[in-house]
Amino acid sequence: MEKKTIIFATQNKNKAREIQGLLPPYFEVKTLADINCDDDIPEEEDTLMGNALQKARHVAKKYKMNCFADDTGLEIDHLNGSPGVKSARYAGPEKDDEKNIQKVLKQLRDSANRAARFRTVIALILDGKEFTFQGKVEGDIAREKRGEQGFGYDPIFVPEKGEKTFAQMDKNEKNQCSHRSRAIQKLAAFLSQQ
């Protein structure tokens, strides 16, 4: 079967490698770096789906290639769903993970309601048609940082029925239950039908 190239609208080669392992072998995942794209792709929408679609449309239109993009947010019940679509820039435009975590912990302080969820939305543009896939994991916000793995809010997010934060899990353990892997599995299942 002829290989199909699909662009993942990210500069993160690790993320791309992780996804490549889950997709059918006749899809070859390339990053923005692989196609010499260093555009500052806008993320101006007020929903995760809007941002994912905006990024995918930008790449598909400019490079005339099949592509997909993702956006992820942490939604905390006590904060009325914040930080949500603003997760990466919650404490400021510099996207500082540590500052974001400290802001969340400070806002929750002694709150008994620590329920939260991570959501990932993937927007795929394949042969000119748009498709979206969503993955979600429920959990709670820990009272302090725990663990060294992962990135973002991983040190304070404990997935449903668990004891460990995402940052205390190895990659395989996290992939068993993460929001991103759930969304990617839906994408992979769809692409394997193509």
CA angle 81–87–91, rounded 5-degree value? 110
Q: DSSP letter at 114?
A: -
Q: DSSP letter at 88?
A: G
Quick check: is 34 catalytic? no
Token pair for 123 = 């927007």
**8 contacts 65 by C-beta, under 8 angstroms:** no
Q: DSSP letter at 156?
A: G
Token pair for 96 = 């500082």
CA–centroid distance for 103 within its chain:
20
34, 38, 71, 110: which one is catalytic? 71
Cα(78)–Cα(33) distance, rounded to whole angstroms? 39
CA–centroid distance for 29 within its chain:
16
Could you list the active site residues?
A: 71
